[in-house]
Amino acid sequence: MERKLLFSAKNITKSFYGTQALKGVDLEVHEGEVVGLVGENGAGKSTLLKIIIGVQPQTSGEMFMQGKPFAPADPMAANKEGVGMVFQEQSLIVNLSVGQNIFFGHEKDFMKYGVVNWKKMYEDARKVLEEVNCGYINPKKKVIDLNFATRQMVEIAKVVNMTKSEHGDHKCLILLDEPTSVLNEAEVQNLFKEVRKLTAKGHAVVFVSHHLDEVLEISDRIYVYKDGENAGNMDIKDATEEKLYEAMVGHSTTTEYYHLADQRKPEEEVVLETRDMGVSGVFKHCDIKLRKGEILGICGVVGSGKEEICSVVCGDVKPTSGEMYVKGKKVSYSSPAQALQDGILMIPMERHAEGIVRNLSVAENMALSNAPLLSEHGIVLKKKVDEQADRWIKKLRIKTSSKDAELISLSGGNQQKVVFARALASEADIIILNHPTRGVDVGAKEEIYALTREVVAQGKSVILLGDTLDECIGMSNRVIVMKDGLITGEFQADADEKPSQVSLVTLMM
Amino acid sequence: MVKNNQEALTIQEEFANKIKAENRREKLIKWAPVLVLVVLVVFFTIARGSAFASASNFVTILNQWAIPLLVALGLTFVIMIGSIDLSIDGTVGMAGSIAAVLLMNNMNSNNFGVFGIIIAILCSVFVGFLIGVIHVKLKVPSFMVSFAFMNICTGIAYVAYSGTPAKVTDPVFAALPKMSFLGIPLITWIALLMLAICIYIQEFTPFGRHIYAVGTDETIPRSVGVNVDRVKIKVFTLAGFLFGVAGVVGLIREQLGQASIGTGKMFPAQAAVVIGGTSLAGGKGGVINTIIGTLIMTVLENGLNMMGVDSNIKTGIQGVIILVAVILTTKRGSTIISK
């Protein structure tokens, strides 16, 4: 069946301050089609969607909607051209009613003698909801009183309505970014029913999800993105989970990059253990053992629970079930400061928000976690702070104009090295590295890998959340895989026998 | 694989249950202010018997309710968009003082009548507008701009009457404080009229809906083309208008146009808005909540007065109330629903 081309994007690139999120991707969507879009974290899926909906412009490349050039300045312009998106983040105003949300921003259309005619608006809202098979939703109900599945349907109704009303009777393109993460199986099936109703009318849907089984169920064609590039594009009849996994993962990088020669076997002693640990509504039944001198990697997509486990281990969040033992002693932390006293420290993922103090100097940043060690009689001695700074700048080859330079003036890689210095200076011996090479150039990345090897060689232990699957596998002695809040697998990752990325990805999605 | 799905379901259910529990808590808290009002009325009736629960005290309470209601109405909208307005004491006093020197008074030969009142209110509208513009366009935090204007307006008030406050001698104006209709004092009717207008604005105009959106998350209305800046400026301007009306009502009560008409008006208004259930974070609550909140503060003031409580202790009690109300209603560690 020959379907007419509805939307196409050609050679889209997107750079953010030197990193290339998209290196030239293509996407074609036909009328009445469901196109699945899959890929690892950071593959560029959400970035592309945001470009299509007009939240951000592409750096280069062209888009066409119904044959005409398409370059929306903002989401409203995209709506006018027939493109709508249901974002990953909830975009409903919870204290307003369903109807008011559906028509939000368009209340003027219902004004009569200076008053909004809510009665008419609710009638129209009912019609819109019926169109997407949600006639059971009462448009007068406040969104805050609805469960997620219902809110999700309201969002879809809102987007479909906005897009269609702006665009007249033409065919529309609806983008769905991870629409099923909060839905159970029955609710997912309901969503699919809606999608099929839409496509039966000739509209098209792009379905982004890391639930590969769902993507395989609903899509007509599937695109695979990897590292900001097209990595594959298959018809549903040719697609299998294995083929998707193969396309998604990259080639393994050279052994020297991860200093595999320096990978040591950890000792037997268990320094950190969690038993049946969980945070209600986030993750549960997590049993993790960290040995002395070990690098333990945890892999998973966003929402798998790996971030949250680290928050619990470093003392930021209290678990609602289970126990944690540090060096054999049962512990319960109310704050990271308490965890630090037991030698646990996390280098956070959001460097700018949680890792550095931008306006303090390099030296001052390094001294943030171990002030007591640099003090005498309760006063921090500048001499000791400076000595420490000089030592670490030399040791880690940190490029800075001086130890008193403001941290914000350093490059990303060097900022990260300062954060490392702070962690090491604190004499923590259980260090959690949360995406330690994010926003860091290749040269500095390698130095950080070497540094991590050195650190465990000295007897410290590391939990690693890698930026890429490759990094996680390459650096770790052992890798744990998480999905939807549960541990789904564990792999030995000895230097001479690393597991394949495919075997990990299979358990992640 | 099946087991996995079952376990994962439970995690989702846990999350859903957490949200449901939060919502239930919210619903309970919604009724708390009404309960508090009832408790207060009962308490003071018991404490002071027929002195409190009499028809004449009821009229007194209505009289005392007018200005706090007007002020709190203006403040409600500001708090709903997530900002704060500390200019109240100054703006109210300024409007009252300017009106006094423009009406027929004992200090000069002006006799602008109704126009005098209109001009005075226009001044406070303009102040509100300026606060909004400076906060939105120059990105100065609202508490800072409004606090500065509190002092500026107090200064303007003093300048308006240069030392000695003007006593209004207009005979029509002098009769106003005693006027009542259906047993309810005129000034309360004025406040109720403004209340009706505010309800209309909040519930029956797009502007009202946009206020909730801006207070919830600015990116949502922005992405739909709502001019968030304009919404904010309009809110501060509207607040300025209401504060101006409050100033004129204050002048009606006192018949003397001095800056102190505004003194001490902000604090109970803040308390009233928060107790009523409008969240300081914005996006929640509204004008109806403020009705209960202001009644609570007015009944409390009336009752404590009747019991002879020292005025400083009264202020302390109000402070404690604000603190408790904010503590109970602040969302700590809210569950962010991002999928």
Q: Among partner residues A55, A91, A116, which is closest to B220 by beta-carbon distance?
A: A91
Q: Is residue A384 part of a domain?
A: no
Q: What is the pLDDT of residue A416?
A: 86
Domain boundary (A223, A248, A273) is at A248
Q: What is the pLDDT of residue B336?
A: 45
For residue range A41-97, what is the model confidence (pLDDT) as tens digits? 778 888 899 999 998 899 999 999 988 999 998 888 888 888 989 887 778 898 899
Q: Which residues pair with B338 in a beta bridge?
A: A89
Strand order in the sheet with A270-279: A283-291, A270-279, A321-326, A329-331
Contact A182/B337, CB-based, under 8 Å? yes
Residues A28 and A156 both lie in one domain: yes
- Is A118's Cβ below 8 Å from some Cβ in B? yes
- Is B223's Cβ below 8 Å from some Cβ in A? yes
Q: Is residue A441 part of a domain?
A: no
Q: What is the pLDDT of residue A169?
A: 67
Taking CA A447 as the corner, what is the angle to CA A444 and CA A451, rounded to the nearest 5 degrees? 135
Residues A237 and A289 both lie in one domain: no
Q: How far apart are CA A215 and CA A228, in angstroms?
A: 20
Residues A259 and A243 both lie in one domain: no
pLDDT at B9 over 80: no
Contact A283/B23, CB-based, under 8 Å? no
Q: Is residue A437 part of a domain?
A: no
Q: What is the pLDDT of residue B143?
A: 93
Residue range B278-283: mean pLDDT, rounded: 84
Residue range B143-161: mean pLDDT, rounded: 94
> DSSP alpha helices (H): ranges in A19-93?
45-53, 75-80
Q: Is residue B153 part of a domain?
A: yes
For residue range A388-444, what is the model confidence (pLDDT) as tens digits? 999 888 888 888 888 888 888 887 778 888 988 888 888 889 999 998 887 777 777
For residue range A461-478, what is the model confidence (pLDDT) as tens digits? 999 998 888 889 999 999
Q: Is residue B11 part of a domain?
A: no
Residue range A7-26: mean pLDDT, rounded: 86
Q: How far apart are CA A149 and CA A187, in angstroms?
A: 6
Chains A and B form CB pairs within 8 A to the count of 110
pLDDT at B319 over 70: yes
Contact B223/A74, CB-based, under 8 Å? yes
Q: How far apart are CA A369 and CA A424, in angstroms?
A: 9
Q: What is the pLDDT of residue A157?
A: 87
Q: What is the pLDDT of residue A255?
A: 63
Q: Is residue A454 part of a domain?
A: no
- Is A89's Cβ below 8 Å from some Cβ in B? yes
pLDDT at B209 over 90: yes
pLDDT at A312 over 50: yes
Q: Is residue B307 part of a domain?
A: no
Q: How many domains does chain B have?
A: 1
pLDDT at B154 over 50: yes
Taking CA B306 as the corner, what is the angle to CA B303 and CA B307, rounded to the nearest 5 degrees? 90
- Is A107's Cβ below 8 Å from some Cβ in B? yes
Residues A196 and A59 both lie in one domain: yes
Q: Is residue A413 part of a domain?
A: no
pLDDT at B333 over 70: no
Q: What is the pLDDT of residue B6?
A: 58
Range of the domain at A83: 5-248
Residues A241 and A268 both lie in one domain: no
Q: What is the pLDDT of residue B91?
A: 96
Contact A93/B217, CB-based, under 8 Å? yes
Higher pLDDT, B296 or A447: B296
Residue range B220-248: mean pLDDT, rounded: 93
Q: Is residue A153 part of a domain?
A: yes
Say if CB B59 and CB B216 are below 8 A apart.
no
Q: What is the pLDDT of residue B332?
A: 55
Q: How far apart are CA B158 and CA B312, in angstroms?
A: 25
Q: Among partner residues B8, B223, B284, which is closest to A485 by beta-carbon distance?
A: B8
Average pLDDT across chain A, whole number: 87
Domain boundary (A248, A280, A298) is at A248
Q: Is residue B12 part of a domain?
A: no
Residue range B70-84: mean pLDDT, rounded: 96
Contact A115/B15, CB-based, under 8 Å? no
Q: What is the pLDDT of residue B110?
A: 83
Q: Is residue B10 part of a domain?
A: no
Q: What is the pLDDT of residue B1?
A: 40
Residues A233 and A128 both lie in one domain: yes
Q: Among partner residues B20, B205, B226, which is closest to A105 by beta-carbon distance?
A: B226
C-alpha separations of B108 from A84, A421, B118 in Å: 65, 74, 18
Strand order in the sheet with A221-226: A83-86, A173-177, A204-208, A34-39, A221-226, A229-235
Q: What is the pLDDT of residue A194?
A: 86
Higher pLDDT, A256 or A396: A396
Give contacts of B335 with chain A, Cβ < 8 Å: 281
Q: Is residue A372 part of a domain?
A: no
pLDDT at B335 over 50: no
Could you give the 3-state DSSP secondary structure of residue B78? helix
Q: What is the pLDDT of residue A251?
A: 62
For residue range A196-231, what is the model confidence (pLDDT) as tens digits? 988 988 899 999 988 888 999 999 999 999 888 898
Residues A223 and A274 both lie in one domain: no
Q: Is residue A50 part of a domain?
A: yes
Handedness of CA A470, A474, A480, A485 (dihedral sign): negative
pLDDT at A21 over 50: yes
pLDDT band, very low/low/confident/very high, at B330 (cuts 50, 70, 90): low
Q: Is residue B245 part of a domain?
A: yes
Q: How far apart are CA B185 and CA B176, in angstroms?
A: 9
Q: What is the pLDDT of residue B138?
A: 95
Residues A261 and A216 both lie in one domain: no
- pLDDT above 70 coverage of chain A, percent: 97
pLDDT at A370 over 80: yes
Q: Is residue B57 part of a domain?
A: no
For residue range A278-306, what is the model confidence (pLDDT) as tens digits? 998 889 899 999 999 999 999 998 788 89
Residue range B204-231: mean pLDDT, rounded: 90
Q: How many domains does chain A have?
A: 2
Q: Which of A237-251, A268-282, A491-505 has the lowest mean pLDDT?
A: A237-251
Give contacts of B212 with chain A, Cβ < 8 Å: 93, 95-96
Residues A166 and A86 both lie in one domain: yes
Higher pLDDT, A105 or B200: B200
Residue A26 main-chain phi, psi, to 5 deg: -120, 155
Residue with tokens 């007065």: B305
Say if CB A455 and CB A426 are below 8 A apart.
no
Query: For residue B129, which amino acid is it?
Result: F
Residues in chain A: 509
C-alpha separations of A55 from A41, A60, B99, B210, B264 in Å: 20, 15, 50, 21, 46
Q: What is the pLDDT of residue B69?
A: 97
Nearest CA distance, B311 vs chain A (angstrom): 38
Residue range A28-38: mean pLDDT, rounded: 94
Question: No. of H helices and E strands in chain A?
Answer: 16, 24
Residue with tokens 């991707």: A25
- Is A181's Cβ below 8 Å from some Cβ in B? yes
Q: Which of A163-167, A318-322, B94-98 has the lowest mean pLDDT?
A: A163-167
Say if CB B53 and CB B250 are below 8 A apart.
no
The CATH number that applies at residue A156 is 3.40.50.300
Residue range B254-268: mean pLDDT, rounded: 89
Domain boundary (A184, A216, A248) is at A248
Say if CB A128 and CB A161 are below 8 A apart.
yes
> Which of these, A315, A298, A319, lies nearest to A307 by C-alpha position?
A298
Residues A170 and A313 both lie in one domain: no
Residues A191 and A208 both lie in one domain: yes
Q: What is the pLDDT of residue B331?
A: 60
Q: Is residue B197 part of a domain?
A: yes
For residue range A176-185, what is the model confidence (pLDDT) as tens digits? 988 887 777 8
> Which of these, B30, B81, B16, B119, lies nearest to A282 by C-alpha position?
B16
Range of the domain at B255: 66-293
Residues A216 and A103 both lie in one domain: yes
> Which of these, B93, B94, B100, lies nearest to B257 by C-alpha position?
B100
pLDDT at B3 over 50: no
